[in-house]
Structure 1
Amino acid sequence: MKLPVPFLAVLLALALAAAACGSSTESGEPGSSTPPTEPAPPDPTDPAPPGPIPFDPGPGLVRPLSVGARESSSTNPTIAGDAVSRFGIDLFTASRAAAAGENVTVSPASVAIALAMLEPGASGEAQTQLRELLGIRDPVEFHAAVNALEQSLESRVAEAYTDEDEPGEIVARIANAAYLQEGYPFEADYLDAIGANYGPVLNEVDFAPDPDAVAHEINDFVAEATNDRIVDILADGQVKPETVLALVNALYLKASWLETFPEDATTDQDFTRLDGSTVAVPMMNGGASSSARGDGWVGATKAYVGNLHVQFILPDEGRFGEVADDLSGVFIEYDANRTAGALLGLPRFETRYASELSATLQSMGLTAPYQPGNLLGVANDPQLVVDQVVHHTFVAMDEEGTEAAAATVILATATSGPAEPPVPVVLDRPFLYRIVDDVTGATLFIGQVTDPTA
């Protein structure tokens, strides 16, 4: 069967409140009637001075630019993967706090990549906050590791199913883009830095005359990158005439289960919501790769082809909030208590989530990029500030696999001791989950499902 194509997209938009500049006329020495000496014409053999890259306007609303190229990276991708996963737990915790018990799914990988594209241009307190938020110790190493993480995901090859001879399906795609206001003094070093590690499509635009038209161009880019699973990430009016920069990341994942759920084992079953009401859901029944029991929860892990897995955590009745607020400890406890194999009941579901993340990121300590004078590495303009961070996700799981964007891998050492029996896990009440990349350790998706039918 065809799975709905999942995706994850995040857009980071920065707006500039332009400051008025005074004009001046040239003159000679004060009190002198001698006209100023004309400067000598430039020597074409001299190297170009450092500074903003000159734009070459062309026809059309969006004019592609060519600035550098993404380089191959041999840096260990787990440096970025581990950082993305730590960031992901904090991002999910902050996001669910404002969700009022609704379904929430964020992509730590997508948000982190978009913010990482901003970091080379951050200065002062904004640079400090971004590095702390993303866990950046060595900026050069970190950006190279993100590059390696993207290349690792995009190079996956499906293994064979455990129960069939034919291979499964694995598609992982990451697309980055930057939309730059024509004539704005972007720093060449900044554009070179993001070009080397993120290889974004660089586009020159004029936001002011018709901001909505630029938003539609960005929407088209995201829709194409996500196979039309995210089609309108920006609404009319979100891009403003004073916007000068939009950084965009789109992440797409389609992966088959390593061991599929038998379709004839799917049955209708009640799912109990947080408020105690019930709803009938199609419950898929099959095997899990591992399971574990901890304080107030049971959990299971199910593998995909391509060295990915999803981890489910089912809190005990009445303890959902308590468990969700301590996911770092829960995941550590899971790895310590895991046992091989388990029976897994998973409701077939499809979920979407959309949020403007500025308030969430500010609650996590990222405030300086929203204040003037902190993005001087992007452009020599103290008025440049972040305006919005827009984030959308889509995840669908069925008998064949998952369509989504983002992945996380948590690596842990199993403790020694007597083997525990497998823990049957039936997700018939609100549960938590994360999709992890086994190779890099990056959490691609993390979320909660409080109603599979919502």
Structure 2
Amino acid sequence: MRWEKSRRQHGPGSRIRRRILPEEKVDEERRRGAIEVGELDKDEERRDTHLYVEKLRCTTATNNNKQLECLGLTTLALRLLNELAERSASSNLVFSPLSIYSALALTAAGARGATLQELLVVLGARSRDELAEIVLRFAKQILADRSPTGGPHVLFACGVWHDETRKLNLAFRDAAAQSYKAETRAVDFRKEPGEAVKLINAWAASATNNLIEKILDGPVPNKTDIIVANAIYFKGMWDVPFRKECTEDDKFHRLDGSTFDVPFMRSGAKQYIACHQGFKVLKLRYKKGSGRYSSWSSFSMCVFLPDARDGLTGLISMMASSSADFLREHLPASLVSVRKFKLPRFKLSFSGDDMPPVLRRLGLQAAFDEKNSDLRDMVEEDGTGRPLALGKIIHKAVIEVNEEGTEAAAVTACMKVMRSAPKLPVDFVADHPFVFFVIHEKSGAIVFAGTVLEPTPSMPGKKILHGGRVQGDENANRSLMSSLRHYLGSLFG
């Protein structure tokens, strides 16, 4: 048994040692490309997923707190998934629970009374201060950009725009700047709404690396007082990329039973897969950054695939009705051999300004009621007695998954059981609708979520064959060569 010394977190004098696991060895082999497509590893050695640490000081309480603070986010994510999937029953869905959570939390910083209490219940927090601490930790730890050290490229931004006639409350402005790292700016919604829209859209484009070019499609109502927004951008490369030459077209089955051709990424390498009653879970890790805080750059995409081709609705309902620990308890913990492995490439987008009805069903009532809404802590009293209430909540999200990794962005604006590790090789063939999550592994925070009902189809007139060859290109080349031979024959005939 091999051991290594670790002094990173315990000082140069520490003698802490941990066992080098077989799983880590397999990961290294996969990175070197030692396991080719279609090759099955026959080694049946049990994969131990626990780290054996000597003289380790207990940090369980701290880690548990970090998990617990994401339970509110997880609960909101699963409830939103259930509601939005029901409204998008025939189309793909992608959204950022973390973006929506952050925008609502920033709104709560200016709320009082029943409005504040409803926001706290929906977000799973006990106070405004606790919400601020949670989002600040999201921004500083979970969503810190790790791309300089080789990790995911992550951008996180909040913004508050208020009409010149409604000055921000000093305490709210300070909370927005210090706890939410939000920029605040006065604009003229009354006389120059077009300029205000350009300013906000430019902010959204910058915050999402131009993946979302605008969040407001038209002029805002001239009675708008405040717009609160949050934006998240994520780009991660797979820890073990898929080989493009192994991508091959095959049939994807829609919920109505019809099929169409889509490019499927294939692999014969070991994967993190867990098998449960009625569904399987795949975990694809993104490349982490290096250095002292590398563990905080650990993200993964988790695909929940129902066994039945029409089982998506039932799976989502089960998730929404379960505890917030459902995801964590069902994620795979060890690598397993695979027989057939197919995952479609997909690029999804979502644009919705009908979020208020969804949030009302989750319990936010007072915030959208002009008579009962209490957001007085956002702005200074102007003597008019004019109430402040949430109007539109706009959410836009984009995600692209391919052989190299994932690129995703989202903007939200408020106007106002046991794990199962199979011993035998398993199949994971995602040729029918499934659910996906982009998760921060250390905290459990859900950054993006959605459903894939129709992946990106194959190119019209072209079909990707085994080895990455494109059938349409071959036909075109044959036609070109035939024409060339005919032309040369006419010259030298």
Give TM-score, length-normalised by structure 2.
0.69
Match of 1:292 in 2: 274
Listed one character per residue, the Cα deviations across residues 162-216 of structure 1 (whole Å, up to 9, x for unaligned) are: xxxxx85510110111101113143211111222211211111110113232112
Deviation at 1:97, TM superposition (A): 1.4
Q: Which residue of 1 aligns with 2:251?
A: 270
In the TM superposition, residue 226 of structure 1 has moved relative to its aligned partner by 0.9
**SS of corresponding position for 2:87:** coil
Residue 101 (str. 1) matches residue 90 (str. 2): yes
Residue of structure 2 in register with 1:309 after alignment = 300
User: Partners in 1 of 2:106 and 2:327 — Cα distance?
Assistant: 29
- Choose from 112, 125, 130 the match for 2:101: 112
* Percent of matched pairs sharing the same residue: 26
Q: Which runs of 5+ in 2 are unaligned?
A: 1-62, 289-297, 411-416, 458-493
Q: Which residue, 269, 272, 279 being the options, matches 2:260?
A: 279
Task: Report SS of the residue matched to 1:254.
Answer: strand
> Is the 8 Å Cα contact of residues 300 and 311 (structure 1) preserved in structure 2?
yes
CA contact (8 A) 2:81 2:316 kept: no
The offset of 1:331, in angstroms, is 3.0
> In the alignment, which residue of structure 2 is the partner of 1:321?
313
- Which of 429, 432, 450 aligns to 2:435? It is 432
Alignment size in residue pairs: 365
How far the C-alpha of 1:418 sits from its partner, in A, is 8.2
1:258 aligned onto 2:239: yes
Q: State the shift of 1:264 in Å.
A: 1.4
Q: 2:431 is paired with a residue of what secondary structure?
A: coil
SS of the counterpart of 2:426? coil
Offset, 1:89: 0.8
- Higher fraction of helix: 2
Aligned to 1:189: 171
Higher RCO, Cα 8 Å, sep 6+: 1
Q: CA deviation at 1:102?
A: 0.9
> Alpha carbons of 1:333 and 1:157: their partners in 2 closer, same or farther (altered >3 Å)?
closer
CA distance in 2, matches of 1:158, 1:196: 24
Q: Residue 197 of structure 2 corresponds to which residue in structure 1? A: 215
Give the match for residue 8 of structure 2. Answer: none
Structure 1 unaligned regions, length at least 5: 1-73, 160-166, 407-412
The 8 Å contact of residues 347 and 452 in structure 1, kept in 2 or not, is answered as yes
Aligned: 1:91 with 2:95: no
> Residues 266 and 369 of structure 1: is their aligned pair in 2 closer, same or farther, counting only changes over 3 Å?
same
Change (3 A) 1:431 1:102: same
**Structure 1: how far apart are the matches of 2:328 and 2:286?**
21
Q: Secondary structure at the match of 1:232?
A: coil
For residues 217 and 421 of structure 2, the distance between their equivalents in structure 1, rounded to whole angstroms, comes to 56
- What's the CA shift string for 1:355-404, capped at 9, x where partnerless? 11111111111111111341122134551111100000000011110001
CA positional deviation for 1:80: 3.9
Paired with 2:422 and 2:207, the residues of 1 have a C-alpha distance of 45
Alignment equivalent of 2:158, drawn from 172, 176, 186: 176
1:444 aligns with 2:440: no
User: Is 2:336 aligned against 1:341?
Assistant: yes
Given the superposition, is the C-alpha separation of residues 145 and 79 from structure 1 closer, same or farther in structure 2, using an over 3 Å criterion? Answer: farther
Q: Take 1:283 and 1:398, find their aligned partners in 2: how far apart are those partners?
A: 9
Q: Contact 2:146 / 2:154 at 8 angstroms: preserved in 1?
A: no
Task: Find the residue that maps to 2:226 and give its secondary structure.
Answer: strand
Match of 2:116, SS? Answer: helix
* Partner deviation per Cα, 1:223-246 (whole Å, 9 max, x = no partner): 111111111211113x11010101
Higher strand share: 1
Q: In the TM superposition, what is the alpha-carbon distance from 1:339 to its structure 2 partner?
A: 4.6
Residue identity in the other structure for 1:311: C
Distance 1:209 1:156, change over 3 A: closer
The question of whether the paired residues in 1 share the 8 Å contact of 2:162 and 2:225 is answered with yes
Please list the CA deviations of residues 123-162 of structure 1 after superposition, one character each: whole Å capped at 9, or x if unmatched.
1211111000000124323311210111113435469xxx
TM-score of the pair, normalised by structure 1: 0.75
CA contact (8 A) 1:171 1:254 kept: yes
Q: Secondary structure at the match of 2:389?
A: strand
